[in-house]
Amino acid sequence: MKCVLCVVLGLFAVTSGFAEEPKSVRVLIQTDKGDIEVELDAAKAPNTVANFLKYVDGKFYDGGRFHRTVTPDNQPDNKVKIEVVQAGINPEKTKDEFKPIKLERTKDTKLAHKDGTISMARDGPDTATSDFFICIGDQPELDHGGKRNPDGEGFAAFGRVTKGMDVVKKIQSAPAKVQALEPPITIKKITRLP
């Protein structure tokens, strides 16, 4: 009888450990233009979400900024047009960035770059650190196999905006020189929501 009870308790401990892992995490991005609520999909993009949350929990984004806007009119040299706004950590903390993460491709996560998708900015595969972007409208050319990045590997989508797309659009239409927002839009802070 004791052994059966031990097995049951052991199974409960193991399964409850898994139950504590959140499938989604909500965060609040507070900016000079207003608030954006985002739901991160930790079930489908666990490594990307964990990386983003390291920066959130470490307060790297406090004093960060939305620094780039990509509109149909400001990318004349790109055959494949996209619409996004891009943000980064507080510039004073760039020396303390974590190591780049492996690219979680959309072909594996099944998270597409739709209107309101949050995704990691990168150069080559496995180079993303802290910069992220939010899609305005559906952006299939940012998915795996898309043509925006010459390597065709796409970007790591890891969640979506649930509230505040009007703020994202305000950021996109803010004054810019080419694609650089001038001045950048300040991120007051990014925090987890209950």
**Cα separation of the two ends of the chain:** 41
For residue 114, pLDDT over 80 is answered with: yes
85 lies in a domain?
yes
Q: Across-strand partners of 37? A: 28, 163
More confident residue, 121 or 7: 121
Average pLDDT, whole number, for the chain? 91
Number of domains the chain contains: 1
For residue 2, pLDDT over 60 is answered with: no
The Cα–Cα gap between 127 and 99 comes to: 8
Assign residue 45 the CATH number of its domain: 2.40.100.10
131 lies in a domain?
yes
12 lies in a domain?
no
**Confidence (pLDDT) at 84:** 98
More confident residue, 11 or 145: 145
Q: How do residues 94-106 score in pLDDT, each as one tens digit?
A: 999 999 999 999 9
Q: Which range marks the domain in which residue 156 is found?
A: 23-192
The Cα–Cα gap between 105 and 144 comes to: 6
Residues 44, 110 contacting (CB under 8 angstroms)? yes
**Confidence (pLDDT) at 16:** 41
The Cα–Cα gap between 159 and 112 comes to: 9
Lowest mean pLDDT among 5-14, 17-26, 70-79: 5-14
84 lies in a domain?
yes
**Mean pLDDT value across residues 141-169:** 97
For residue 46, pLDDT over 70 is answered with: yes
90 lies in a domain?
yes
154 lies in a domain?
yes
13 lies in a domain?
no
**Confidence (pLDDT) at 20:** 46
Tokens of residue 23, six digits: 């499938």
Report the predicted TM-score, pTM, of the whole model to 2 decimal places: 0.89
Cβ neighbour number for residue 183 with a 10 Å cutoff: 12
11 lies in a domain?
no
The Cα–Cα gap between 164 and 155 comes to: 22
Tokens of residue 30, six digits: 């507070």
